[in-house]
Chain A
Amino acid sequence: MSNPKSIDSTVNEMLEHAKTRGLETIWDRADEQKPHCVYGERGLCCRACYMGPCRINPTGKKPQKGVCGATAEVIVARNFAKMIASGTAAHSDHGREVAKTLLLAATNPDSGYAIRDVRKLKRVAQVFGISIQDKPKEKMALEVAERALADFGRQEGEISFIKVAPEKRQAIWRKLGIVPRGIDREVVEMIHRTSMGVDQDHRNIMLHGARTALADGWGGSMVATELQDILFGTPSPIRGQVNLGVLSKTDVNVVVHGHEPVLSEMLALAARDKELLDLARSAGATGITLAGICCTANEVLIRHGLPIAGNVLQQELAVATGAVDAMIVDVQCIMPSLPQLCKNFHTLLITTSPKAKIEGARSMNIQAENAYQGARTIVREAIANYANRGAVDIPRDKMDLVAGFSHEAITYMLGGSFRGSYVPLNDNIINGRIQGVAGVVGCSNPKTTHDKGHVGLVEELIANDILVVQTGCSAIACAKAGFLTPESAVKHAGKGLAEVCRAVGMPPVLHSGSCVDNSRILIALSEMVKVGGLGQDISDLPVAGAAPEWMSEKAIAIGQYFVASGVFTVFGIGLPVTGSELFCRHIFEEYKDLFGGHWAAQPDQTKIAGLIIDHIHAKREKLGIGKGKERVLFDMEMRRQLEV
């Protein structure tokens, strides 16, 4: 192929296969969309009312205002802020479902859900200011769930997880008046403000954009992550496999795709159920393979080591193998093209959320209350469907990986049960073995060569001794490239980072989970500040974030909450903001003073790496650790100054 769509040969191989079979994929449709609308790409198209739609001429010629008089910066700001609101709503609605599930687990012993991590429950209770003295875990869980749910509807005050952030960061937010009050409230206000004729000041719009995004990162997403850990267990390092090769020729293949683990956890249980396994064997299969796509895959990987079939752009390709007996989808990143594609195969497509139905797919209403029974029904149907399988074409490639690096797992990994802490991380950043930490996250996007942005960027960063933390489809891309194996430290990491990886036994790229699990990175950054030696605030840390192949509104919400938390964040592909110079100046420049973190857009992954490396080096200089730290020998006087 002259111009491969992906750097993953498995993808290219499957695309060839699809082409010969006359199957349409996302890449075909992407080609048909070219060229993209220049107004839309630059954020200059306004559909806030029906006096328009209006557009601003990006060349400087007329029109320069919408019908109502809205300028480029107002239109760009409103569009960008609406994306933040959508992304925040998506993560937070996911969080709400988890909180409701915890409430169910706490009150209904027959729900099938359990309170699996009591230690984490206690920690979250403490953050929430809930007394844990002499309380049974169900009572604690009930109070935590109620408190989390209250955070969605609160009208005044502050959401609970804000307190996890460094003091100095909280003070910045309070001074700007952007500590989220209630998660839903900020989203509603954002939508209000960006409707016709309300907030017409791009800076003011984006200030609330920050508040809304914080309600995602430190609100909805964090509720989702932390409460999922309580319910399903806090992830710890675990082995897994990735890529389409994980699909089995001889097993019944059930693929879960979407985001919420509430059902997939039950599917994981059902797939191990002896009765169902026997049923599968009696149907002529050797067993049941439960594999994942997208973030649901990440959720079941980090807790159960279940295999990942691919990232978001591979959902159609999984079906195209002909080996998927059932594909179960819930919410977010599900392509409406799936039912049409499934028609070419025996694959049974089931939507499970009443919030997300697709014409042509079977809809089952599965709620937390009936999830286990629902899961068993699904597996039964998949088994029954196994007999209908036609020819299969499963690519051979699959890659080993180690994932599951939650904040707690990192703490343990760096010192065990007795000395676990982030001290070794900070120490090795201070002494320069590790130059800094970068979060590389986000989606896949057919506008660019699939996986190239993620893999190219991460390769460059770890070679420059920057430890990489990943979530979402970005993590899946790097997993397929082999970066999530501990052996990759020797092959790809710089000398200093490799040395630390060897001492700890970790890969140079740490997979922390799904896209709501970006909240784990916020907690990790706060812990780095708390441990000390790297400044007083997240914005002092030698860290950065990137989403090199982003596409979803959720990514914009994530980018904005990282920036508002003090992290320099670079987006690949491009941002729909270039239509307004004033707006660009605001989020690319003025944010530096406002938040200590700012946005950048750069389509080339090598240049993204350069930006991140320069930024990290500049932060190191500012901290006085530009050249690493010299060995200090302690005499008695100095020892007395050391904290015990």
Chain B
Amino acid sequence: MSRIIATRAIRGAHKLVARAERELAAAIAEKGPDTRVEFPNTGYYLPISHGILGLRIETLGGLLDLLAEAKELLPPVPSENLWLPYLGNTLDAGMATLFADEIIEAVKYTRTPLPYLPETHPKEGHLWLGAANDVIMRERGIEFVDNTAPGFAACVGYCPTNEIAVRIARELQEKNLYVFMSAATEGKSMARQLAEEGIEMGWETRLVPFGDDVTATIHALGFSTRVALSFGGAQPGDYQRVLRYNKNRVFAFVLALGPVDDEKHAQAAGAINYGFPTIADTDIDNILPTGICTYEHVVSPVPHDRIVSKAIEVRGLKITVTRVPIPVPFGPAFQGERIRKEDMYVELAGTEKHGFEYLTGKGMEEVEDGKIEVVGPEIDEVAEGSQLPLAFWVEVAGRQMQADFEPILERRLHDFMNMAHGVFHMGQRDINWVRVSKEAKDKGLRFRHFGSIIHAKIHGEFGKIVDKVQVKIYTREKEIMDLIETARKAYRRRDERLAGLTDEAVETFYSCTLCQSFAPNHVCVITPERSGLCGAYNWLDGKAAHQINPTGPNQPILKAQVVDAARGQWQGINEFVFNASHKTLQLFSAYSIIDNPMTSCGCFECISCVLPSTNGIMTVYRNFPGMTPSGMKFSTLAGTVGGGLQTPGFIGHSKRYVASGKFISAEGGAKRVVWMNRDLKEELAPELRKIGRGEGIENFWEMIADETVAVTEEEVLAYITKMNHPALSMPPLF
């Protein structure tokens, strides 16, 4: 009977709130109420209290407000007979639990050394990662949007054996789900079990160990809350939207493994508020009627071999995974894995050997679907530690196939190869580099399986435009050198075609509303000279995606009449944006940062914003954790730009857009850039120098300040004045 669940959850909430009160009082007594609390490098205040209650907690003393809220919510334990309705109370107890969790975890972050690693993956002897920082969240955000990660499993407790833990982790990974692990039971936790088995963990492999305390579960729900604030356009304190957004957009669930104590029941009750059901391997009773979650709320007991598929069904999740016939696990979760030299069996291409990857369209009769040839030695014919050249020669045919799609399909070979467990892939075209692990080789992976991967994935993802795929894999120098020039000629031809593509040269742009799964009112308009702000989609991608899925998120938009050529406004675009933004945006300018700039979902690679006193702008890449001259870190800046809101003076954009001739051209273009974080500046050096030369300024790149010379707006102004930066003599921005 679910009264048992209610009773245990409410009891657990009482215990955790009492614990939070104790630990907070002790911390205040020791360190003082003004001691700062934060989850490092997160743009928001403590996420649950900020998202749900709108509180802005910055100090230990501030946590007392949250404690008061938690206590206020604590309901009585249901009576044995003639009980009063307990579902609402249980959910309130769950929320009180999350508040208590947040207090306890925030207090932990005031300790030195920090109990959690700042890195994205565990290190020798340190397993737990704690709260995700903003860089992680924005990088991972896009995966939740474009379906590479359909959701996450918050795993609490431990499995009966390490082997079962590994099997469940792998199954979740193969379903593309993130695995968030917390809450040890009697010192045993799933994350520790995976560690004992030498499984690579971290955000890269989607196996994320948050912490062994039950309260570390808050980092999973904190992540969800931040997603709602960053991408969902939810205002802090608008708990209804935060929670509804999670129910309908973030498809997460809780796997309760092993014994479930009162405190874990309380966490489950907290998660149900978010629409996340709990599936347990032990018998903790059921809550089957629907309503708070999409389907059932608690399902138990479920055997381990069915627990993942049951959880997916209960959450109402549809996951379509292309079955790839290879002897190692396969899925996006394996994309982030590294293969160290000592684990490597063979290395292909890279800096030591030649190689290339080439995909081309052919006539239907010229391609035999599924034909895979390996020209040169197979993996089992070479010694461990060998270095070999490598070329992929992929031929595809299909009635909808166009030459413009060749580079799009070709570029995806990188993703496809990386998805195989034990295969590492870098680069593209003629700078490819592949490693295969010993483990994969031992499991039976062969070079011909590269062909199987490419064949299956192209059919899976591009089935609408491609009917046939054949793959040749070359591992011998002679044949590779015979073919490499043909490939290089094709690369050059494509580059010229892309360079010739200007906004004026085309009639249609493409919309991208992929992110509306996360940011419901945001619309990207992708033009030949302004790629999607995530950096993942350019105009040709949009075109191909539309062919593949004519009713999908990428729609052609006729520009129609020009409204303002300089700012980049067209009648057709405005109308589309108005409708697609659910009537929240009247219009926007493709080329302006000031006048109705384009909105952002939250997945942007970079943010540019005006530094008023310099008459210029600064641009920061999302990996830069430091302070910027705007007075805000990237994470804080992101809070003002994301969620489909139009903020004059701020835009989110891709890295490459900086090099485009249409980069804020209404305000004079890249010449306005007065500050850039050093790494980005280095990366874009060739393009920036070229832009400078085009303007007749030889040392333009040097004129741009970075964090090594300026971290405040005053310092930027001083630096660019010294350097005589062109922005100073440009017309005023406002």
- Using a CB–CB cutoff of 8 Å, the interface residues on chain A facing chain B are 237-239, 400, 402, 412-420, 423-428, 431, 433, 485-487, 499-500, 502-506, 631-640, 642-644
Q: A415-B91, A503-B288, A640-B513 are in contact. Are A239 and B84 (CB under 8 A)?
A: yes
- B297 close to chain A: CB less than 8 A: yes
The interface stretch among B75-83, B434-442, B464-472, B685-693 is B75-83
Q: What residues on A are CB-neighbors of B1 within 8 Å?
A: 502
Q: From residue B27, how far is it (CB to closest CB) to chain A in Å? A: 27
Q: How far is the CA of A640 from the CA of B522 in the complex (A)?
A: 12
Check B273 against A416 for contact (C-beta < 8 Å). Answer: yes
- B589 close to chain A: CB less than 8 A: no
| 8 Å CB interface, B681-733 against A | none
Check A644 against B245 for contact (C-beta < 8 Å). Answer: yes
| Cβ contacts A to B, 5 pairs, < 8 Å | A402-B85, A415-B87, A415-B291, A416-B88, A428-B290
CB within 8 A of A639: which of B239, B240, B244, B251?
B251
CB within 8 A of B88: which of A414, A433, A637, A644?
A414
Check B241 against A644 for contact (C-beta < 8 Å). Answer: yes
Check A417 against B82 for contact (C-beta < 8 Å). Answer: no
The interface stretch among B315-323, B357-365, B532-540 is B315-323
Q: From residue B554, how far is it (CB to closest CB) to chain A in Å? A: 12
Check A419 against B249 for contact (C-beta < 8 Å). Answer: no
Q: From residue A629, how far is it (CB to closest CB) to chain B in Å? A: 10
Check A486 against B318 for contact (C-beta < 8 Å). Answer: no
Check A502 against B2 for contact (C-beta < 8 Å). Answer: yes
- B95 close to chain A: CB less than 8 A: yes
Q: From residue B288, how far is it (CB to closest CB) to chain A in Å? A: 6
Closest to A507 in B: B85
Check B52 against A505 for contact (C-beta < 8 Å). Answer: no
Tally B residues with Cβ within 8 Å of A.
57
Q: How far is the CA of A111 from the CA of B228 in the complex (A)?
A: 48
CB within 8 A of B95: which of A416, A506, A644?
A416
Q: How far is the CA of A623 from the CA of B73 in the complex (A)?
A: 38
Q: Mark B85-98, 1 if CB is under 8 A from A, else 0.
A: 11111111011000
Check B313 against A417 for contact (C-beta < 8 Å). Answer: no
CB within 8 A of B86: which of A426, A505, A637, A642?
A505
Check A631 against B251 for contact (C-beta < 8 Å). Answer: no
Q: What residues on B are CB-neighbors of A636 within 8 Å?
A: 146-147, 150, 517
Q: Give the 6 A-B residue pairs with the shortest CB-CB distance, closest first.
A: A424-B291, A416-B91, A633-B318, A505-B86, A642-B248, A416-B88
- B553 close to chain A: CB less than 8 A: yes
Check A237 against B84 for contact (C-beta < 8 Å). Answer: yes
Check B95 against A417 for contact (C-beta < 8 Å). Answer: yes
Q: From residue A301, how far is it (CB to closest CB) to chain B in Å? A: 14
Check A487 against B82 for contact (C-beta < 8 Å). Answer: yes
Q: How far is the CA of A637 from the CA of B318 in the complex (A)?
A: 10
Check B87 against A433 for contact (C-beta < 8 Å). Answer: no
Q: How far is the CA of A577 from the CA of B432 in the complex (A)?
A: 90
CB within 8 A of A499: which of B289, B517, B553?
B289
- B626 close to chain A: CB less than 8 A: no
Check B83 against A412 for contact (C-beta < 8 Å). Answer: no
Q: From residue B77, how far is it (CB to closest CB) to chain A in Å? A: 12
Q: How far is the CA of A136 from the CA of B78 in the complex (A)?
A: 37
- B155 close to chain A: CB less than 8 A: no
CB within 8 A of A417: which of B73, B249, B517?
B73
Check B318 against A505 for contact (C-beta < 8 Å). Answer: no
Q: What residues on B are CB-neighbors of A639 within 8 Å?
A: 248-249, 251, 517
- Using a CB–CB cutoff of 8 Å, the interface residues on chain B facing chain A are 1-3, 6, 52, 73, 78, 81-92, 94-95, 146-147, 150, 232, 239-241, 243-245, 248-249, 251, 273, 287-292, 294-295, 297, 312-313, 316-320, 513, 516-517, 520, 552-553
Check B289 against A402 for contact (C-beta < 8 Å). Answer: no
Q: How far is the CA of A632 from the CA of B313 in the complex (A)?
A: 9
Check A425 against B291 for contact (C-beta < 8 Å). Answer: yes
Check A400 against B82 for contact (C-beta < 8 Å). Answer: yes
Q: What residues on A are CB-neighbors of B89 within 8 Å?
A: 416
Q: How far is the CA of A424 from the CA of B2 in the complex (A)?
A: 16
Check A414 against B87 for contact (C-beta < 8 Å). Answer: yes
- 12 new A-B contacts, CB < 8 A, other than A415-B291, A416-B87, A417-B88, are A237-B85, A238-B84, A416-B95, A420-B88, A426-B291, A428-B290, A487-B82, A504-B86, A505-B84, A640-B516, A644-B245, A644-B249
CB within 8 A of B85: which of A487, A505, A644?
A505
CB within 8 A of A633: which of B82, B232, B316?
B316
Q: How far is the CA of A611 from the CA of B90 in the complex (A)?
A: 38
Q: From residue A628, how far is it (CB to closest CB) to chain B in Å? A: 11
Check A485 against B82 for contact (C-beta < 8 Å). Answer: yes
Check B292 against A419 for contact (C-beta < 8 Å). Answer: yes
Q: What residues on B are CB-neighbors of A633 within 8 Å?
A: 312-313, 316-318
Check B95 against A427 for contact (C-beta < 8 Å). Answer: no
Closest to B297 in A: A503
Q: How far is the CA of A426 from the CA of B3 in the complex (A)?
A: 22
CB within 8 A of B291: which of A239, A427, A502, A642?
A427
Q: From residue B568, how far is it (CB to closest CB) to chain A in Å? A: 27
Check A431 against B292 for contact (C-beta < 8 Å). Answer: no
Q: How far is the CA of A428 from the CA of B232 in the complex (A)?
A: 28
Closest to B144 in A: A636
Q: What residues on A are CB-neighbors of B319 within 8 Å?
A: 635
Closest to B90 in A: A416
Check A424 against B290 for contact (C-beta < 8 Å). Answer: yes
Q: From residue B329, how far is it (CB to closest CB) to chain A in Å? A: 22
Q: From residue B216, how far is it (CB to closest CB) to chain A in Å? A: 22
Q: How far is the CA of A502 from the CA of B295 in the complex (A)?
A: 16
Check B91 against A419 for contact (C-beta < 8 Å). Answer: yes
Closest to B145 in A: A636
Q: From residue A474, how far is it (CB to closest CB) to chain B in Å? A: 21
Check A418 against B243 for contact (C-beta < 8 Å). Answer: yes
Check B52 against A433 for contact (C-beta < 8 Å). Answer: no
Q: From residue A128, how far is it (CB to closest CB) to chain B in Å? A: 24
Check A634 against B316 for contact (C-beta < 8 Å). Answer: yes
Closest to A642 in B: B248
Check B88 against A413 for contact (C-beta < 8 Å). Answer: yes
Check A402 against B290 for contact (C-beta < 8 Å). Answer: no
Check A418 against B317 for contact (C-beta < 8 Å). Answer: no
Closest to B5 in A: A503
Q: What residues on B are CB-neighbors of A500 within 8 Å?
A: 289
Q: What residues on A are CB-neighbors of B6 within 8 Å?
A: 505
Q: What residues on B are CB-neighbors of A238 within 8 Å?
A: 84
Check B87 against A504 for contact (C-beta < 8 Å). Answer: yes
Check B88 against A412 for contact (C-beta < 8 Å). Answer: yes
Check B553 against A428 for contact (C-beta < 8 Å). Answer: no
Closest to A631 in B: B295
Check A505 against B3 for contact (C-beta < 8 Å). Answer: yes
Q: From residue B259, how far is it (CB to closest CB) to chain A in Å? A: 23
Check A418 against B84 for contact (C-beta < 8 Å). Answer: no
Q: From residue B276, how far is it (CB to closest CB) to chain A in Å? A: 12
Q: What residues on B are CB-neighbors of A423 within 8 Å?
A: 291-292
Closest to B1 in A: A502
Q: How far is the CA of A480 from the CA of B110 in the complex (A)?
A: 59
Q: How far is the CA of A402 from the CA of B86 in the complex (A)?
A: 13
Q: From residue A84, how far is it (CB to closest CB) to chain B in Å? A: 36
Q: A402-B84, A416-B90 are in contact. Are A644 and B232 (CB under 8 A)?
A: yes
Q: How far is the CA of A634 from the CA of B252 in the complex (A)?
A: 13
CB within 8 A of B313: which of A485, A486, A503, A631?
A631
Q: How far is the CA of A152 from the CA of B279 in the complex (A)?
A: 55
Q: From residue B253, how far is it (CB to closest CB) to chain A in Å? A: 13
Q: A416-B273, A503-B2 are in contact. Are A631 and B316 (CB under 8 A)?
A: yes
Check A402 against B244 for contact (C-beta < 8 Å). Answer: no
Q: How far is the CA of A433 from the CA of B320 in the complex (A)?
A: 30
Check A418 against B248 for contact (C-beta < 8 Å). Answer: no
Check B82 against A402 for contact (C-beta < 8 Å). Answer: yes
Q: What residues on A are CB-neighbors of B317 within 8 Å?
A: 633-634
Closest to A400 in B: B82
Q: From residue B486, how far is it (CB to closest CB) to chain A in Å? A: 38
Check A634 against B318 for contact (C-beta < 8 Å). Answer: yes
Q: What residues on B are CB-neighbors of A638 within 8 Å?
A: 318
Q: How far is the CA of A636 from the CA of B92 in the complex (A)?
A: 30
Q: What residues on B are CB-neighbors of A433 within 8 Å?
A: 289
Check B289 against A413 for contact (C-beta < 8 Å). Answer: no
